[in-house]
Amino acid sequence: MTDHRDYTVSMHYDRRLYRQDIAGSKAHAAMLARQGIIPPEDADAIIAGLGRVQDEIERGEFPWDAALEDLHMNIERRLTDLIGPAAGRLHTGRSRNDQIALDLRLYTREAIADTVAGLRNVQRALAGLAEQYRDVVMPGYTHLQRAQPVLFAHHMLAYFEMLERDIGRFQDGAARMDVLPLGSGALAGVPYPTDRNAVAAALGFSAISANSMDAVADRDFLVEYHAAAATAMMHLSRLAEEIVIWSSREFDFVRLADEFTTGSSIMPQKRNPDFAEIARGKTGRVYGHLVAILTLLKGLPLTYNRDLQEDKEGFFDTVDTLLATLAVFAAMLPGMALNAARVESLAGDSYMLATDLADYLVGKGLPFREAHGVMRRLCRRCEEGDRSLSELPLSEYRKFSPHFADDVYAITAAASVAARDNPGGTAPNRVAEGLARAQKILAEAER
Ligand code: ARG
């Protein structure tokens, strides 16, 4: 049976914010004393007491009490036990509404830093694979049909670019949320001569919030984290899906390290790509939390409403899920062995050169649409005869267009790749540029 009184308790999950809560309280107490709002000796006692509280929490000795509902009340009660009535001065000029808004911002700021570091690690692994297999040509796909040969490195660097945009999204969010909400009080501001800018500086914020009502009601920064996390998970799920497909016997493009596959309990031959599958699956819960926070905020009147307490569990789960998924990819990718012989042989599939052959005819003066038609008819003929384009004698080619000559056989996968030499294309020198760009970004991020 559940007790109805448990319904409002948040202590078992908001205790995760204890470091942020204590840091905010210390900065607030110091400011109150500097402004002559509370006696300096009380502020000293509060700050020392909060240090003891933090030690107790970290040693697992803190007497958490669910009857006190949340983290804030637990800490305040313990502080009173430790230092006496002076503890009662800490909450001067503050409300739990601006306090929780502060704690969440401090937590999100750290979460963004950790997330960006995790994304960088995956980028590093992707650039490493691009470097390791820099010359390998593989089939590139559209509609999951072999389309045109590309460099494997080009494929890996496509993911590097996606994650680069993800990092940009997290950084944009970090810049927008870099505002201290403390000093907003319950909603209207506080009737004390506080120095909000000093608190902002002490806690590493670049600015203070401009409107107290907005500051206590705002959770946009959580929405932005969720949205960026959902997008990053979407990207990772696409890579996960490719890894799943590529490690099937049908494709046989890659082999994952043993520690990233599991056998079946009854089928001894299996090497299941479980980590990639679970990453693909976990994307769903991160999307769910995004929809949940948007729905939580929808239609909420100003300012603080207790509904907002429900903003935390989904957020923490999204942070945990994304960081864990990034750690998995950073560990899994470097040990993913590419079956270069296999992908190169498939890249030589002459059907994928059909576009190049059409371009060849364009080079001989044919309009592209006409050349495309010639090649479509030629491919159909080859399919009927179960022959590849490269096996076709020149006499056969010439039945479809008199423009075909001996040099048609010079069109190979390698030539096709090399021909895509415009910026952003898959030609080896262009991919080398892409890799250099990636390495430069990573080097700059390390400084
Ligand atoms: N536990 C609350 C939350 O997470 C803290 C703020 C409570 N404020 C209040 N007026 N009851 O949102």
State yes or no: pLDDT of 437 exceeds 90: yes
User: Which protein residue's CA is at the shortest distance from atom 2 of ligand 1?
Assistant: 309
Confidence of residue 100 (pLDDT cuts 50, 70, 90): very high
What would the pLDDT profile of 380-412 be if each residue is shown by its tens digit?
988 888 888 888 899 999 999 999 999 999 899
Q: Is 96 in the pocket of ligand 1 (CB under 6 A)?
A: yes
What would the pLDDT profile of 79-98 be if each residue is shown by its tens digit?
999 999 999 999 999 999 99
State yes or no: pLDDT of 22 exceeds 80: yes
Between the CA of 128 and the centroid of ligand 1 the distance, in Å, is 46
Give the position, in ligand 1's atom list, of the atom nearest the Cα of 71. 1
Give the rounded percent of residues in the chain with a pLDDT score beyond 90.
91
Q: Is 10 in the pocket of ligand 1 (CB under 6 A)?
A: yes
> What is the rounded average pLDDT for all residues in the chain?
96
Query: What is the structure's pLDDT at 392?
Result: 87
Catalytic (active site) residue 248: no
Confidence of residue 368 (pLDDT cuts 50, 70, 90): very high
Query: What is the structure's pLDDT at 270?
Result: 77
C-alpha 102/C-alpha 97 separation (Å) is: 9
Q: Is 416 in the pocket of ligand 1 (CB under 6 A)?
A: no
Substitution site in 10, 17, 70, 103 for ligand 1 pocket (most atoms within 8 Å of beta carbon): 70
Q: Encoding tokens for residue 274?
A: 């479980």
Between the CA of 149 and the centroid of ligand 1 the distance, in Å, is 57
Active-site position among 12, 206, 248, 264 = 264
C-alpha 20/C-alpha 110 separation (Å) is: 10
SS3 state at 149: strand
Query: What is the structure's pLDDT at 343?
Result: 96
- All domains in the chain, ordered by first residue: 7-92 (1.10.275.10), 97-142+150-187+211-345 (1.20.200.10), 348-445 (1.10.40.30)
Between the CA of 221 and the centroid of ligand 1 the distance, in Å, is 17
Q: Encoding tokens for residue 99?
A: 């306090």
Query: What is the structure's pLDDT at 350?
Result: 80
The single-letter DSSP state of residue 219 is -
Alpha helix ranges (H) inside 140-269 = 152-176, 196-202, 212-217, 220-246
Q: Is the dihedral of CA 219, 222, 224, 230 positive or negative?
A: negative
User: Which protein residue's CA is at the shortest distance from atom 12 of ligand 1?
Assistant: 309
Query: What is the structure's pLDDT at 133?
Result: 98
Q: Is 100 in the pocket of ligand 1 (CB under 6 A)?
A: yes
Between the CA of 84 and the centroid of ligand 1 the distance, in Å, is 24
What would the pLDDT profile of 283-315 be if each residue is shown by its tens digit?
999 999 999 999 999 999 999 999 999 999 999
SS3 state at 254: strand
Q: Which amino acid is at 39?
A: P
What would the pLDDT profile of 153-191 be if each residue is shown by its tens digit?
999 999 999 999 999 999 999 999 999 999 999 999 999
User: Which protein residue's CA is at the shortest distance from atom 4 of ligand 1?
Assistant: 309
Alpha helix ranges (H) inside 247-311 = 274-297
Q: Is 97 in the pocket of ligand 1 (CB under 6 A)?
A: yes
Q: How far is CA 189 from the centre of its chain?
A: 36
Between the CA of 97 and the centroid of ligand 1 the distance, in Å, is 6
Q: Is 309 in the pocket of ligand 1 (CB under 6 A)?
A: yes
Query: What is the structure's pLDDT at 339?
Result: 98
pTM of structure: 0.95
Give whole-number Cα distances, 427 to 137, 146, 350, in Å: 10, 18, 18
Substitution site in 17, 20, 73, 96 for ligand 1 pocket (most atoms within 8 Å of beta carbon): 96
Between the CA of 144 and the centroid of ligand 1 the distance, in Å, is 50
Please check whether residue 90 is in contact with residue 76, taking contact to mean a CB–CB distance below 8 angstroms: yes
Among residues 53, 67, 70, the alpha carbon closest in space to that of 16 is found at 70
Catalytic (active site) residue 226: no
Q: Is 169 in the pocket of ligand 1 (CB under 6 A)?
A: no
The dihedral over CA atoms of 130, 135, 137, 138, expressed in degrees to the nearest 10, equals: -30
Give the position, in ligand 1's atom list, of the atom nearest the Cα of 308. 12
User: Which protein residue's CA is at the shortest distance from atom 3 of ligand 1?
Assistant: 309
Q: Is 91 in the pocket of ligand 1 (CB under 6 A)?
A: no
Give the position, in ligand 1's atom list, of the atom nearest the Cα of 304. 10
Beta-carbon contacts of residue 424 (< 8 Å; ≥ 6 apart): 430, 434
What would the pLDDT profile of 60-85 be if each residue is shown by its tens digit?
999 999 999 999 999 999 999 999 99
Q: Is 102 in the pocket of ligand 1 (CB under 6 A)?
A: no
Query: What is the structure's pLDDT at 388?
Result: 85
Active-site position among 143, 154, 209, 248 = 143
